[in-house]
Structure 1
């Protein structure tokens, strides 16, 4: 089964480039994911998606919370499992 972990944060005012750089520098402990992509959006939002060959409830490494002051709120995290095409 393929599981996708999504990590999304909104940078504090004027710190979007810093949050993006921080997210790109973060290394996940243990085995690497099958795939990892990083995105940015208006309002200084950063999204990181990692794909894993694992069960939905597997204990998988995730990006940490950034340092206080770098983001405007707690990080949002979601976990999805791949659905076969009909």
Structure 2
């Protein structure tokens, strides 16, 4: 079974670039080499939001804790099961 783990955070005012850099420089390297990781993508959205989506075979691991000073609110996390692909 393939799982998608979504991690979404809204940066504190003016800290979007720092949050994006933290995901690329800390969160992604921490996940690399974790058994079952198939791929990872980082996206940004208006409102200084950063999204990390990882795809897993088996159990999905989570990104490390984000420094609180980079965040406007707590991180949101969801795990989805793949049901259909075209």
TM-score category (smaller protein): 0.7 to 0.9
Aligned to 2:39: 35
Give unpaired runs (5+ residues) of structure 2: none
Aligned to 1:64: 64
Cα RMSD (Å):
1.7
- 2:16 is the counterpart of 1:8: no
Q: What is the TM-score when the length of structure 1 is the normalising length?
A: 0.85
Cα distance, 1:7 vs structure 2: 0.1
Q: Which runs of 4+ in 1 moved over 4 A?
A: none
- Is the Cα contact below 8 Å between 1:4 and 1:79 reproduced in 2? yes
Q: What is the TM-score when the length of structure 2 is the normalising length?
A: 0.85
Which one has the bigger helix percentage? Answer: 2
Q: Deviations over 1:10-57 (max 9, x none)?
A: 000000000000011122163361010000010100000000011xxx
Give unpaired runs (5+ residues) of structure 1: none
Cα distance, 1:65 vs structure 2: 2.5
**Which range is displaced more, 22-31 or 6-15?**
22-31
- Is the Cα contact below 8 Å between 2:6 and 2:52 reproduced in 1? yes
Aligned to 2:55: 51
- Is the Cα contact below 8 Å between 1:5 and 1:78 reproduced in 2? yes
